[in-house]
A and B are shown apart, each in its own frame.
Chain A
Amino acid sequence: MTAASAEILETLAGLIRQVIGEDWADDIDIGMETSFADDLELESIEFVQLAELLQNHYGKDVNFVSWLSKMQLDSIIGLKVGQVVEFVAQCQS
């Protein structure tokens, strides 16, 4: 993993902890392979909250919602943290 990706992962993990709450997040090691649906058990309304936090943090250049809107529902459900890290990295490069 590049230094840039590691930094994005750390930021993203912080935002995820904000969304799902420290109590729950404490038990989970958030890494590139962590799945939003299976491991983090994010509800769809929490996904909206995460999208908003990402937008606030990274600004308009990282359009998470537009990226997700091109995916099939199955792909969104199967999404892993690493895919979002790579997406953010691409937006920044």
Chain B
Amino acid sequence: MPILTTGAIDSHVQLMGEGSPVVLIHGLLLGSLAGWYFHTGPALSPNHRVILYDLRGHGRSERLASGYDLVTLAEDLGSVLEATRASGPVDLVGHSYGGLVALRFALDHPARVERLVLVDVPLPPSSMSEMKGLEQSGANGLLEALPSGLRDAIVGGGRRARRFLEGIDFLVNRSSLLTDLAAEQDIPDEALSALECPTLLVFGQTSSCAAVGDRLAAVLPRARLQTLPGGHFLPMEVPELLTRAIVEFLDG
């Protein structure tokens, strides 16, 4: 099932495996469901129905000019759950802003979320230094935040670089993504402390978000913090280690 009508938009959705539902959510700009598709998805598929989707404007989902705030993106997640007929509480796994989408959804619909895995999420949402690079020097600034080995895999060559820059150009210059991101407020500790579901926090040792892991571990009632060697882009930097941490938490 590649392209599904989810709510009012066309979303690229992929399903793997059978069992209790897990949704994997990627981060903004550089991300797509491909970031979860080759490691984490297959590793969870023996015990779970794994639902992967591209956020609006990303991957093969519809390129929409607006709606990149967390409330709208969490509504999109609800529409994906509806379209894939995922009934009952689900496990949500999200990287970066995708993790904040999961967190927003869990805060708005606590009964619908079984467990949460938040991978290197920024808080306040607008605080990521990787994004500041983007605002200052465009797509190149964003790429500089990546480990050099990954840069080639994303933008090496002519065709791939062109497609990548087209995608970034749309999101940065022709959508409200950066404005929405900048306007996003911090989630107060009182709201976070009401979140009852078991939560795994996975953060990169050298990430600019590392302190957020400590804050969430202190505030969330049922959270455990695990640190991995790497920066902000853990799904690309250490896919095997990240996958192992997620599988141990959800299946261990």
Contact = CB atoms under 8 A, between A and B. Distances in A.
A41 B60 CA distance: 17
A69 B156 CA distance: 23
A48 B158 contact: no
B199 to A, nearest CB: 26
B38 A69 contact: yes
B158 A47 contact: no
B159 A66 contact: no
A51 to B, nearest CB: 8
Contacts of B35: 44
A43 interface: yes
Interface in A42-93: 42-45, 47-49, 51-52, 65-66, 68-69, 72-73, 76-77
Interface residues of B, number: 28
B239 interface: yes
A43 B37 contact: no
B153 A37 contact: yes
Contacts of A10: none
Contact of A24 (B32, B159, B164): B159
Contact of B14 (A24, A42, A44, A52): A52
Contacts of B236: 73
Contacts of A77: 153
B187 interface: no
Contact of A48 (B33, B153, B160): B33
B9 interface: no
B157 interface: yes
Contacts of B43: 69
B60 A43 contact: no
Interface string B68-101: 0000000000000000000000000000000000
A33 interface: no
A22 interface: no
Which secondary structure dominates where chain A touches chain B? helix
A7 interface: no
Interface in B51-79: 54, 59-60
B60 A69 contact: no
Given A44-B32, A45-B60, A65 B156 contact: no
Contacts of A49: 2, 60
A37 B151 CA distance: 13
Contact of B59 (A37, A45, A69): A45
Given A44-B32, A45-B54, A69-B39, 17 more contacts: A38-B156, A38-B157, A41-B157, A41-B158, A43-B154, A44-B34, A44-B35, A44-B38, A45-B32, A47-B38, A48-B14, A49-B2, A52-B14, A69-B41, A69-B42, A72-B240, A73-B236
Of all A-B residue pairs in the complex, the 4 with the closest CB atoms, nearest first, are A44-B34, A69-B42, A41-B160, A41-B159
14 contacts: A24-B159, A43-B163, A44-B32, A44-B38, A45-B59, A48-B32, A48-B34, A49-B2, A49-B60, A51-B37, A65-B16, A68-B42, A72-B240, A76-B38
Interface of B: 2, 14, 16, 32-35, 37-39, 41-43, 54, 59-60, 153-154, 156-160, 163-164, 236, 239-240
